[in-house]
Structure 1
Amino acid sequence: MSEHDFDVVTLGETMVSLRTTAPIRFPAALEATPAGAESNVAIGLARLGHRVRWISRLGADPWGDAIVAALRGEGVDVHVARDAGRPTGLMTLAQRTADRAVVEYRRAGSAASALSADDLGGLGSPRILHLTGITPALSASAADACLEAARRVRDASGLVSLDVNHRRLLWSAEEARLGLRELGGLADIVIGGEEELELLGDSPESLLETASVVVAKRGADGAEAWSRDEHVTATGHRVTVVDPVGAGDGFCAGFLSGLLDGLPLGECLGRGNTVGAFAVGHVGDWQGYPSRDELTLLRAADPTAR
């Protein structure tokens, strides 16, 4: 094993997503699949050939069993505590049109809401720790776990990546601004939409006082990044959108993969855009993420790989 146990470790809640295209009050059928920003990123990175661990808590229930099996099946190393007293979180997602979904959470009191620094035994010394603004919103102990994980990884010469990923159903913009202040200051890599980045600072450039790279995600319009040495942009891919869920997490996976491979900043953005484009072409949070061999497919003149 190298000096770094894993290329990337992620920390956060994964729920079971019950998906339908009908109104949730009378669905004809529900499809159950794991869903969580951090595990989405873990799956995306694993498909690109990186060594990835996901840390969390799950209920000692069949939903938790299903999540563990799915992530391990995708090549993700799973380090979880099973909680007999708290359930695995659930969410419902009604995909009413291609770009409009209604989401409801059943995660209050979930096993992952009890995440704490005591759950960091599997943290090790990754090259990158990837966190999101979702986990600190779950509970005070989960927020403390994120801070402690970030401090430990930085002390071990690793990098901390933070996707702001503001969830309005979990906390308001003002709560997020206050709740992410300290964690944002520990992040070497800050990623978010333009409005999300404003939760942490007056401008992307202002965040470079503590971060080394700041990335603005712009969906189909591509992405933009700032470092202390350069400012780069990358155009997005024009693809048919089947389901937009998971595109942002896919972008993070692609971008971090580029950094791990030592690519120039602009090419890191390009890889992020590519993984995000694959994500929207398939129903589900992570099911459409590409393998490394597929990364060039969107640039091919012939749309069919032969």
Structure 2
Amino acid sequence: MDVVTLGETMVLFHPAADGPLRYVHQFEKTIGGAESNVAIGLARLGAKVSWISRLGDDEFGLYVRNFIRGEGVDTSGVVFDPRHPTAVFFKERQPGRETRVYYYRKGSAASFMTPDDLDETLIAQARFLHLTGITPALSASCLATVERAIALARRHGLTITFDPNIRLKLWTAGQARETLTALAARCDIVLPGLEEGELLTGERTPEGIAQRLLTGETKAVVIKLGERGAFYATADGQEYVPGFPVAQVVDPIGAGDGFAAGLLFGLIRGWSYREAVRLGNRIGAYAVTVKGDVEGYPYWSQIAPDEEKPEIFR
């Protein structure tokens, strides 16, 4: 197994028409969840990846599990909860405005995840553990689950990547800063967006953010800069890596998870940080050209006919 990840995935409803949701009468059903987005992005590139979660023992839970499993992701670590439902969320599109998202996740099955839901054997088989800051925001038991996953990963020598993915609808900025900076310091690679880095550190530049986050166990910080690409810093150096131009942004949600998938895939293959970040930028650019969280993620055959030559991404 290359990567194991854990977190909540919800059923996502896309409106069939633009405008306020009160006037929309038809929706398309798919899924969305930061960690499963990364898992699917990795699986399409050819990585072996496992996703751990808790789903409602209901039709939506079965749909989520089947969708993710159908993308080639191992779902043997999924627990079905007969008492709590699978969460849902809706997108709202209005021309000229940023896409809005409405979540209905309080009391969801995933928010009741506990450390007992973790299969140590599954984690021990992997090379990387990927976590986000969404899961610890869901509940105290979810935070305990993330902390246990980090401890197990350390025990078995995994590299831990952490995307803060701050959701201020789930907790306050102060709570997020305190919890996530502590978690980040226990992870090998930290992947904030620029605004997330500012919230966590108080710094305003990628260089300043990276310097503050390169502490504890953290060996590398990669800061996502949207259309400008990304900035990475390690003890050996730092560099800005330009992004890929996109003719039209259809749906920006899921781009950051696509970036994480590309970065992880490059690191799995032993590429340099520059090459891995470059691939992350490329996957993120693909993601924004299609409606949906994961629908735009490419397959390896689409982007790298010669997989032994990462220099094609330079």
- C-alpha separation in 2, matches of 1:161 and 1:98: 35
Aligned to 2:167: 167
Deviation at 1:205, TM superposition (A): 1.4
Q: 1:221–1:235: 8 Å Cα contact kept in structure 2?
A: yes
Residue 45 of structure 1 corresponds to which residue in structure 2?
42
> What is the rounded CA distance, in whole Å, between the counterparts of 1:260 and 1:97 in structure 2?
40
Query: Does structure 2 conserve the Cα–Cα contact (< 8 Å) formed by 1:194 and 1:217?
Result: yes
- Which of 214, 233, 236 is the aligned partner of 2:240? 233
Match of 1:195 in 2: 195
Matches within 5 A, 1:1-306: 6-20=1-15, 21-78=18-75, 79-97=77-95, 100-121=98-119, 122-201=122-201, 202=203, 203-210=209-216, 211-239=218-246, 240-296=248-304
Runs (4+) of structure 1 exceeding 4 A deviation are: none
The whole-number CA distance in structure 1 between the counterparts of 2:269 and 2:23 is 47
CA RMSD of aligned residues (A): 1.4
Gapped regions of structure 1 (runs ≥ 5)? 1-5, 298-306
Unaligned runs of 5+ in 2: 204-208, 306-314
Q: 2: CA distance between counterparts of 1:181 and 1:219?
A: 22
1:29 is displaced (CA, Å) by 1.1
State the percentage of identical aligned residues: 45
Q: Deviations over 1:99-155 (max 9, x none)?
A: 611211110000000011011024333111000010000000001100110111011
Tell me how many residue pairs correspond in the alignment: 292
Structure 2 CA distance for aligned equivalents of residues 96 and 296 of structure 1: 36
Q: In the TM superposition, what is the alpha-carbon distance from 1:216 to its structure 2 partner? A: 0.5
Distance in 2 (CA, whole Å) between partners of 1:120 and 1:95 is 37
1:296 CA drift (Å) = 4.6
State whether residues 99 and 243 of structure 1, in contact with CA within 8 Å, keep that contact through their aligned partners in structure 2: no
TM-score (norm 2): 0.90
1:228-281 deviation per Cα after TM superposition (whole angstroms, max 9, x unaligned):
101022111111211111000000000111111111111111100000011001
Q: Deviations over 1:168-197 (max 9, x none)?
A: 211121110112133112110000112212
Residues 31 and 205 of structure 1, relative CA distance in 2, 3 Å threshold: same
> Which whole-Å deviations, capped at 9, do the CAs of 1:64-99 have from their partners, x for residues lacking one?
111111111100001211011000011111122376
TM-score after normalising by structure 1: 0.92
Tell me the equivalent position of 1:300.
Answer: none
Distance 1:162 1:134 in 2: 11
Instruction: Give distance in 1, aligned partners of 2:115 and 2:249.
Output: 39
